[in-house]
Amino acid sequence: MKRVCVFAGSSSGARPAYVAAARALGAVLCRRGLGLVYGGGAVGLMGALADATLDGGGEVIGVIPNGLATRELAHPGVTDLRVVGSMHERKAAMASLADAFIALPGGLGTLEETLEILTWSQLGIHAKPIGALDVDGYWEGLRRMLGHAVDEGFVRAEHAALLLFGPAPDDLLDRLAAWRPPAFRRAWLGPAQI
């Protein structure tokens, strides 16, 4: 791994632990010599993550759509700010620049990005590890939802297992580094018994 794409909220959330986790992740990325790819914002968890990574001397690549560059207050201090034309271009650029993905707490955009990159893995579009930093149980609801979808026959267990969970940055990055793409048939090949 050389770079990690992190999906994160443009809000700081209701608990101080969320900002602390974003800062801790930025510091750990620097300590491990990993670059950051993220949504390019200067506010919320995105801003805290970028600032911590920059403070540690790390590489920070921000990717932000033109329409959000002013509304989200694009981060002026990142190593490389890439302004793209659309959200679709943003996600494709972020995915192409990264070797792994982490979801910090966030809102609908963070959830959507996380589920889309998970779907891309399921479909074989990429073979990169994906994790969720489970700060104070923030992602426990998603973990339960994926389990429910497995129980109800909509998601295969091996596809749900593509999303790794970790309670702390070092733990999660260790899991991502150890991850190997599973050898299973892709979702479009038929029912779960294949």
Could you give the domains of the chain?
3-176 (3.40.50.450)
In the 8-state DSSP scheme, what is residue 86?
Answer: S
H/E stretch holding 189? none
pLDDT in tens, 110-165: 999 999 999 999 999 999 999 999 999 999 999 999 999 999 999 999 999 999 99
Say if residues 37 and 6 touch (Cβ distance below 8 Å).
Answer: yes
Q: In the prediction, which pLDDT does 191 show? A: 43
Q: Which of 82, 79, 94, 97 is nearest to 1 (CA)?
A: 97
Q: What does the alpha-carbon distance between residue 33 and residue 1 come to, in Å, rounded to a whole number?
A: 9
pLDDT in tens, 171-193: 999 999 999 998 865 555 544 43
Q: In the prediction, which pLDDT does 185 show? A: 58
Q: In the prediction, which pLDDT does 71 show? A: 67
- Would you say residue 194 has pLDDT above 50? no
pLDDT in tens, 7-35: 999 999 999 999 999 999 999 999 999 99
- pTM (2 decimals)? 0.93
Q: Which strands sit side by side in the sheet containing 130-133, from one edge to the other?
A: 80-84, 60-65, 35-38, 3-7, 100-103, 130-133, 163-166
Q: In the prediction, which pLDDT does 184 show? A: 66
Are β-strands 100-103 and 80-84 bridged in parallel, bridged antiparallel, or unpaired? Answer: unpaired
Q: In the prediction, which pLDDT does 183 show? A: 82
pLDDT in tens, 49-107: 999 999 999 999 999 999 888 765 899 999 999 999 999 999 999 999 999 999 999 99
